[in-house]
Amino acid sequence: MVLGPIGPEVAASLGATVPAVMMAAAAFGLGTAASALFLARFIDLVGSARMLKFTMSLLGAALLFCASSPSVTFFVASQLIAGVASGIALPAIYASAASIAQPGRESRTIGKVLTGWTLSMVAGVSFSVILTELISWRAVYVSVSGLAALALFALIRLNMQDRPAAGIAPSPLSALSLPGIKSLLVVCGAFMTAFYGLYAYLGDHLHQGLGLPVTANGVVAVAYGAGFGCAAFLSGMVDKLGTRGLMPPVLLVAAAVYLGLALLGGSFMAVIFLLFTLGLVNHLGVNLLIQRLTAIDPAKRGTLMGLNSAVTYLAVFAGSSGYGPLYTHYGFALAALVSLGLTVLAVLTCLWRDFAGQAIRAAD
């Protein structure tokens, strides 16, 4: 999330183009996806606490490598390592949240965990822009490395008790045979590619396209984070209304936001309002996806969340790399329309899945 707003400064410092620097975001996504796909299954076997301690150590080291990068190549490689660490940490966190939630309060519990995203976007991303302006973009990665060390210290002090699952850790690909999971992963992939692809180049659009200072990117990040955080107040509504009926309208609102960005992307005030709305619906969308995936087989939460993270960060890779040529050659508006199309695909897949599920239950 932090690289998009400060991408122009990183590019200038390393003597590279913004699309070249954003390949680091693609590398992060690829590392996260591969790690989540092939290593996250050990969360259930080894225990989430142990895995989190390991990944926080690796993440802190990778971020220090980012801060000391002498070239774009080194920076991209460091982001790849950070992605590997994140690919284990994220599903471990989500699986733990789902497992400790009381029945009927799953959305509230997951919403509290997603508050971490809010803090990182409202405080972290905006602070990183200010830190880049005052000191250097390198100071941003040193600071985040310090936060990883703080998280490691907190995990050690908490002394969390693991309950490793018995037996051999199943391959995450084996979970693809579970009913309903493939369509949900398609929804996840389309939804996330639409967001991460466009967000990767929003900062450059504001800086180069609209001629705004880098600090404007921080304002937009705060707007998005504020919307993401406000959605936490709607978690109770999600628990009451259920996940099935809410997901299609949430995705439709996201599609409307991308249409608005395509039409009104030249207005800074419109972008702020639309990013606030996007933060709101993205929080709800992620929450709903996590609930529906973990409900498929509670005994395989770690594996299922590994698949979720793998698809999410394959979307980061696909979005960051695929949107680069689109943005460079055709502009921000067309990139926003591509996000609109992907989100509509997510809506149609979600409706098809729910309709097919109802038909099967009726036949039974």
Residue 92 within a domain: yes
**Distance (Å, rounded) from C-alpha 137 to C-alpha 125?**
12
Q: Which amino acid is at 332?
A: F
- Give pLDDT tens digits for 91-148: 777 766 666 666 666 566 666 676 676 667 666 777 787 888 888 889 999 999 999 9
Is residue 362 domain-resident?
A: no
Judge if pTM exceeds 0.85. Answer: no
**Does residue 75 fall inside a structural domain?**
yes
Q: Is residue 172 part of a domain?
A: no
Q: Is residue 164 part of a domain?
A: no
Q: Does residue 166 belong to any structural domain of this protein?
A: no
> For residue 318, what are the domain limits?
3-158+177-357
Helices (H), the chain: 3-14, 18-38, 42-46, 48-67, 72-100, 106-119, 126-134, 137-158, 181-204, 215-230, 235-241, 243-264, 268-296, 301-330, 332-363
End-to-end Cα distance, the chain: 45
* Three-state DSSP state, 101: coil
If one counts the domains in the chain, the total is 1
Q: At what angle do helices 106-119 and 72-100 cross, to 10 degrees?
A: 150
CB 40 within 8 A of CB 87: yes
Residues of the chain above pLDDT 90, percent: 27
Phi, psi of 124, deg, nearest 5: -65, -55
**In sequence order, which residues have a C-beta less than 8 Å from that of residue 261 and are 6 or more positions away?**
198, 271, 274, 332, 333, 336, 339
148-167 pLDDT tens trace: 999 889 878 876 665 655 55
- Report the CATH number that the domain containing residue 45 is assigned in CATH: 1.20.1250.20
Residue 170 in domain: no
Whether 238 shows a pLDDT value over 60: the answer reads yes
At residue 152, φ and ψ (nearest 5 deg) are -60, -45
Q: What pLDDT digit, counting tens, does each position of 299-334 carry?
A: 677 677 778 878 887 887 888 888 988 898 999 999
**Averaged pLDDT, 280-309:** 80
Distance CA 123, CA 255 (A): 27
The answer to whether the beta carbons of residues 197 and 322 sit under 8 Å apart is yes
Q: With respect to residue 27, please indicate whether it lies within any of the assigned structural domains.
A: yes
Q: Let me know: does 300 contact 44? Beta carbons within 8 Å.
A: yes
Residues 6+ positions from 201 with CB-CB distance below 8 Å: 4, 18, 22, 323, 324, 327, 332, 335
Q: Residue 362: CB partners within 8 Å, gap ≥ 6? A: none
DSSP 120: I
Confidence of residue 272 (pLDDT cuts 50, 70, 90): very high
